[in-house]
Amino acid sequence: MSDTITLAHGAGGRQTADLIESVFARHFRNPEFTADDAAILPLGNTRTAFTTDGFIVSPWKFPGGNIGKLSICGTVNDLSCMGARPKYLSCAFQIEEGFPLHALEEIAASMAQTAAEAGVRIVAGDTKVAGRGQVDHIFITTTGIGEVQEGASPAGHKARPGDAIIVTGDIGRHGCTILLARNEFGIDADLTSDCAPLWGTVEQLLDTVNDRSDLHVIRDATRGGVGTVLYEIAAQSGTGMRLHAEAIPVHPAVRGVCGMLGLEPLYLACEGRLVIIAPQDAAPGIVKTLQQGKYSTNAAVIGEVTENHAGQVVLTTEIGTQTMLPAPGGELLPRIC
């Protein structure tokens, strides 16, 4: 391991996991400590989900959202992935001296609107200001409290051979949008981030599945994208993952940009997409429910969990070729969220 912090430590892949394990988990370890999306706390007579996320996206505003909307979506979605109804949020702002007030106003309005849509209340906050050049525009950290719903306990280790792998929509839009918003490549595309609060999506599933325990795994494919999430689940569950390349929904603009730049859409961040792993017989019902939802009309089964190739993700094509998706690592694009 390097002796300084690198961008890869913040990319959400292997190096992030190594840092959590070698520094934070080692010092902080306790029964409720989690390296997952949210910790589950016994508070009074409830099961409470608790999660935090820092947002440092650059630029702070992008097609389809801004850092404020993103900061609510990210934490709402982490709670949702635990089967927890988001109840309360806190938000801490670190702002650069000279940041325009109207921009802060725009960010706060987005946060309020997104929180209202997700049915969550922003109840506490903090504001710090650093001098010019000491923080790049604005960082926001949100922390969320949610109520785990009866019968729901999705977890990364619960994928079972034979399970279907579902994504709730086309992948890689957020990462691709941010990449284009930076204007470093001189590429234009008609593309917006998929950034969205997904509690409504998860609630619909909880309300319609025959058995909530069929929702073996629910994960939001943020930093590192669907590919990284699947590698994590494969490792946690001790299974393999087989994806059908032609079944993976990718927006034509994302496919085009990825083609030009040699990127793999499976490793581009989403901010409004879930990976859901459930038994094959429950999958058609889940996909049908999803396709009726606001943020999941393009939901699809993209593959299945396998007993062989444990810990790996294999990509098959229509013409029968089979390749190993390279293991995630390094940093594809910093400050994506």
Residue 128 or 288 with smaller CB distance to a copy of itself: 128
Contact criterion met (CB below 8 Å) for 332 and 15: no
187-206: which residues touch a copy of itself (CB under 8 A)?
none
- A 10 A CB-CB count for 147 gives 17
State the nearest-atom distance from the C-beta of 330 to a copy of itself, in Å: 12
**Residue 3 lies near a copy of itself (rule: CB under 8 A):** yes
State the nearest-atom distance from the C-beta of 293 to a copy of itself, in Å: 26
82-101: which residues touch a copy of itself (CB under 8 A)?
87-88, 90-101
State the nearest-atom distance from the C-beta of 60 to a copy of itself, in Å: 12
Cα–Cα–Cα angle for 217, 11, 59, nearest 5°? 110
State the nearest-atom distance from the C-beta of 61 to a copy of itself, in Å: 16
CA 37 remoteness from chain centre? 9
How many angstroms separate the CA atoms of 138 and 93, rounded?
Answer: 7
Residues 6 or more apart whose Cβ sits within 8 Å of residue 310? 234, 238, 239, 240
How many angstroms separate the CA atoms of 14 and 22, rounded?
Answer: 12
Among 13, 53, 196, 313, binds a copy of itself (CB under 8 A): 53
How many angstroms separate the CA atoms of 261 and 263, rounded?
Answer: 6
**Residue 48 lies near a copy of itself (rule: CB under 8 A):** yes
State the nearest-atom distance from the C-beta of 12 to a copy of itself, in Å: 9
Cα–Cα–Cα angle for 224, 85, 279, nearest 5°? 60
**Residue 183 lies near a copy of itself (rule: CB under 8 A):** no
**Could you tell me which stretch among 5-13, 193-201, 282-290, 318-326 binds a copy of itself (CB under 8 A)?**
5-13
- A 10 A CB-CB count for 28 gives 9
Among 14, 51, 253, 270, binds a copy of itself (CB under 8 A): 51
Residue 102 or 184 with smaller CB distance to a copy of itself: 102
How many angstroms separate the CA atoms of 155 and 37, rounded?
Answer: 10
Question: Which structure tokens are listed for 256?
Answer: 């085009």
109-148: which residues touch a copy of itself (CB under 8 A)?
109, 111-112, 115, 121-131, 133-136, 139, 141, 143, 145, 147
DSSP codes joined into one string, 260-298: HHT--GGGS--SS-EEEEE-GGGHHHHHHHHHTSTT-TT
State the nearest-atom distance from the C-beta of 218 to a copy of itself, in Å: 17
How many angstroms separate the CA atoms of 133 and 96, rounded?
Answer: 7
State the nearest-atom distance from the C-beta of 62 to a copy of itself, in Å: 17
State the nearest-atom distance from the C-beta of 78 to a copy of itself, in Å: 9
State the nearest-atom distance from the C-beta of 30 to a copy of itself, in Å: 4
Tokens 């690198």 locate to 6
142-161: which residues touch a copy of itself (CB under 8 A)?
143, 145, 147
Residue 212 or 335 with smaller CB distance to a copy of itself: 335
How many angstroms separate the CA atoms of 185 and 188, rounded?
Answer: 9
Residue 109 or 261 with smaller CB distance to a copy of itself: 109
Among 13, 14, 38, 149, binds a copy of itself (CB under 8 A): 38
8-37: which residues touch a copy of itself (CB under 8 A)?
8-11, 16, 19-20, 23-24, 26-28, 30-34
